[in-house]
Structure 1
Amino acid sequence: MPDASPHPRRLRPGQRVGTVTRGTTNTNRLRRVDRWIAAHPALLHAPDPFVVDLGYGASGVTALELASRLSHVRPDVHVLGLEIEPERVRVAREQLERVRAGDAHFAPDLDVDFAIGGFEVPTPGGRRPAVIRAFNVLRQYDEAEVPGAWGLMASRLAPGGLVVEGTCDELGRVASWVGLGSEGPRTFTISLRRSGLEAPSVVAERLPKALIHRNVPGERIHELLGALDAGWRMHAPLAVYGPSQRWIAMVATLRHEGWPVIGGPRRSRLGELTLPWAAVAPRHPDP
């Protein structure tokens, strides 16, 4: 897979790009990636903090949660939830009506809207998002379709904007994602619940589509997961001080071994690990 995003394809007016997903969603499922977005310069420094939740699923709760979390760092944030399935948009708008009426735990004035759309990311007046979050959307696609989806979404970004594309388990305890700009993929992040964690390689089943079939000998992601497991075992004695200390030590060991870790102990305490995309990018054209 090439590192650079392809040129976006030409679309007919009103054309929707994508297929309907299973729609699985749960409250708090995306808290890990939301926390990461809330600390990212693409949001914090955006002249217009407009954020799109692409493919939010059968319930609009993830878009509502996203707006609530991001409003703590950008009170002027506006979130648009997009779904390609019209019935899901209808359901989400009914949820939003209940929020507006005060019949929910979200703030009634939360700045959220819902609309129909896919990877083409249609927005009112062509407004360009600072961030597009597309989670658990590409899992059902072929790997060969990923660059096109990445390129199309990235072409809709505001200057300096960010696409966050990834996947997680049903409870949000295991997650990984790619951070993309208009030039292509920039970073790769793993975020895990460390309590009860047997091995960091549990994330193998929840890698983004661009990497999930690359966890084989000779590929960088395979090497990374092996290094994570080795570091986790090495620092097992630190478990008596809590899983956070063990994770921090593991990340420090990776850095010492030459892995180009982005961020410091503050992110490590959250069970995160972020690397440049080049550190995990596929080496071979075919899985």
Structure 2
Amino acid sequence: MTRGTTNPNRLRRVDRWMAWALGDLLRRSESAPVVVDLGYGASPVTVLELAGRLRAVREDVRLVGVEIDPERVARGEAVADPPRVEFALGGFEVPVPDGARPSVVRAFNVLRQYAEEDTPGAWARVVGRLAAGGVLVDGTCDEIGRLATWVDVWAAGSGTSRAGVGPGRGGVGPANAPVPHSLTLSWRLAGLETPSVIAERLPKVLIHRNVPGEGVHALMNALDRAWAVQAPLASYGARQRFVATARSLRDEGWPVLHGPARWRLGEISVAWEAVAPR
């Protein structure tokens, strides 16, 4: 059982990314797509928020909150609106009413309470439950959502979305094997002193890898260095400084994905190969 910390609007950063990056995946579904909020915590508020945000992408999306604590499930059922919003008791087996396979599973602040070596097995179990072309979004954030990080994990062979997210048809591994595609980092730019503060909120698969010799450690150093170099732009605002920081990373050879439209939101995604544990 997770600690259950659940503050309203805490997951707004990943919700925004999901609506943008995975919207095409949801729109392609022939039937009402199922999205699961796995381990939503003591309050069902994040389930309801995600439902509202994804309905702007596809009106008939079904949200299912899954928890292993019966009391938390009961709180969810009190605000359920089936089939649009439902709740179920369970864990990484991702039970969904009527046995439907989810297109997307979001697991935020769940695996951080497990051991690092548990991550591959959890990823494999969730990815094995996904619908064809589905994705697991595994991440963590601070208590009020000012810092957030996540990895999008796809089944081998899944196609890319219109946003260019996903491993593509060449995903390596047996069918349904989990293939991480990218690491996304998202900051509240106002008051940001050094980008590497986000290291304390890295996903479980990376948080213990922020040490010399690891890709994610090199990324944290590169971010801080570029942020410092772009300090003269601070007079134009943190957003301009951050966009220049992201561009500097790309110029240095980091596989920074997407472009200024995402960077202006305080968000940077890098290809998984650059930060994968060594």
What is the TM-score of this pair, normalised by structure 1? 0.85
- 1:110 CA drift (Å): 8.8
Query: Secondary structure, in 3 states, of the residue corresponding to 1:172?
Result: coil
Match of 2:135 in 1: 162
What residue identity is the alignment partner of 1:187? S
Match of 1:271 in 2: 266
2:51 to 49, 60, 67: 67
- 1:44 CA drift (Å): 4.2
Match of 2:60 in 1: 76
Match of 1:22 in 2: 3
C-alpha distance in 2, partners of 1:163/1:233? 34
Query: Secondary structure, in 3 states, of the residue corresponding to 1:64?
Result: helix
C-alpha distance in 2, partners of 1:143/1:81? 24
Query: Identity, % of aligned pairs?
Result: 59
Structure 1 residues 44 and 253, CA gap change in structure 2 (3 angstroms): farther
Q: Unaligned 5+ residue runs, structure 1? A: 1-19, 101-108
- 1:189 CA drift (Å): 0.4
- 1:22-171 matches, within 5 Å, as 22-40=3-21, 41-47=24-30, 48-96=32-80, 111-171=84-144
Per-residue CA deviation, residues 178-226 of structure 1 (Å, 9 max, x unaligned), is: 0001132111100010110001101111000000000000000000000
Query: Secondary structure, in 3 states, of the residue corresponding to 1:82?
Result: strand
- 1:133 CA drift (Å): 0.2
Q: Greater relative contact order (Cα 8 A, min sep 6): structure 1 or 2?
A: 1
C-alpha distance in 2, partners of 1:202/1:44? 36
Please tell me whether the aligned partners of residues 47 and 64 of structure 2 are also in contact (alpha carbons under 8 angstroms). Answer: yes
What residue identity is the alignment partner of 2:186? S
- 1:90 CA drift (Å): 0.4
What residue identity is the alignment partner of 1:185? P
| Bigger mean CA offset, 26-35 vs 229-238 | 229-238
Please tell me whether the aligned partners of residues 42 and 162 of structure 1 are also in contact (alpha carbons under 8 angstroms). Answer: no
What is the TM-score of this pair, normalised by structure 2? 0.88
C-alpha distance in 1, partners of 2:26/2:184? 17
What residue identity is the alignment partner of 2:49? E
- 1:45 CA drift (Å): 3.3
What residue identity is the alignment partner of 2:29? A
RMSD, aligned α-carbons: 1.3
C-alpha distance in 2, partners of 1:160/1:71? 20
Please tell me whether the aligned partners of residues 88 and 97 of structure 2 are also in contact (alpha carbons under 8 angstroms). Answer: no
What residue identity is the alignment partner of 2:64? L
C-alpha distance in 2, partners of 1:61/1:124? 20
Q: Unaligned 5+ residue runs, structure 2? A: 157-178
What residue identity is the alignment partner of 1:62? T
- The question of 1:214 aligning with 2:209 is answered yes
C-alpha distance in 1, partners of 2:105/2:25? 10
What residue identity is the alignment partner of 1:241? Y
C-alpha distance in 2, partners of 1:239/1:45? 42
What residue identity is the alignment partner of 1:89? V
C-alpha distance in 2, partners of 1:139/1:78? 26
C-alpha distance in 1, partners of 2:134/2:221? 32
What residue identity is the alignment partner of 2:192? L
Query: Secondary structure, in 3 states, of the residue corresponding to 2:37?
Result: strand
Please tell me whether the aligned partners of residues 154 and 182 of structure 1 are also in contact (alpha carbons under 8 angstroms). Answer: yes
- 1:276 CA drift (Å): 1.3
